Chains A and B, each alone.
Chain A
Amino acid sequence: KNQVEQSPQSLIILEGKNCTLQCNYTVSPFSNLRWYKQDTGRGPVSLTIMTFSENTKSNGRYTATLDADTKQSSLHITASQLSDSASYICVVAGGSYIPTFGRGTSLIVHP
């Protein structure tokens, strides 16, 4: 069964600090992995997308890594801002038409 597990479930950090969110998946075959940011009450917005051959992808202060061998990905946020407070969702696409979603990590950035 295809699954995507994210950790931690929630995280609280101080503004300006860095943090790393984790995503482990069992989706097979693997096509790509995406990270989405979802502000409260809004639709998810794509941050990064990585295919099998890509190890790292950056989008401003967001850097995603992928280890296709261990089926793990991480999202690193540098110099966090209050606007980074949101839910971060890992989505893995495989051979089927339907991508598999993680439950998300809720990040709260305090001033």
Chain B
Amino acid sequence: DAGVTQSPTHLIKTRGQHVTLRCSPISGHKSVSWYQQVLGQGPQFIFQYYEKEERGRGNFPDRFSARQFPNYSSELNVNALLLGDSALYLCASSLGGSSGNTIYFGEGSWLTVV
């Protein structure tokens, strides 16, 4: 069975541009979360969606937005990119919306803003 898949794997954007990252959860998983991981640090929580509704939002500016589709896949959008947005963006899925569910991570999307 396929794990969590993310696309694109690597991308380079210019300051001020917009980016869309995509994630497909493990089949049967209804919860998707997004994390930002800057080099040398642990993942920072951005959003969690469960059954297409936002369940939680981390301390990120409004330039960051996300949504979950009826098939439970998800998109993370970042507007007006800044150099500091350069990071590994991880998507994770779990069966349910409880924090007790095991979280499975994708391989991430490497975003470089120049």
Contacts and interface: CB of A to CB of B under 8 A. Distances in A.
B47 to A, nearest CB: 10
A94 B99 CA distance: 7
Contact of A97 (B99, B102, B104): B99
A101 B44 contact: yes
B105 A49 contact: no
Interface in A13-57: 31-32, 34, 36, 41-46, 49
B97 to A, nearest CB: 6
Interface string B1-33: 000100000000000000000000000000000
Contacts of A78: none
Contacts of B92: 43
Contacts of A49: 102
A96 B90 CA distance: 20
A36 B104 CA distance: 10
Contacts of B100: 31-32, 93
A40 to B, nearest CB: 10
A106 B92 CA distance: 22
B56 A96 contact: yes
A43 B102 contact: no
A99 B56 CA distance: 11
Nearest to A106: B40
A98 B99 contact: yes
A21 to B, nearest CB: 13
Contacts of A91: 103
Interface of A: 31-32, 34, 36, 41-46, 49, 89, 91, 93-99, 101-104, 106
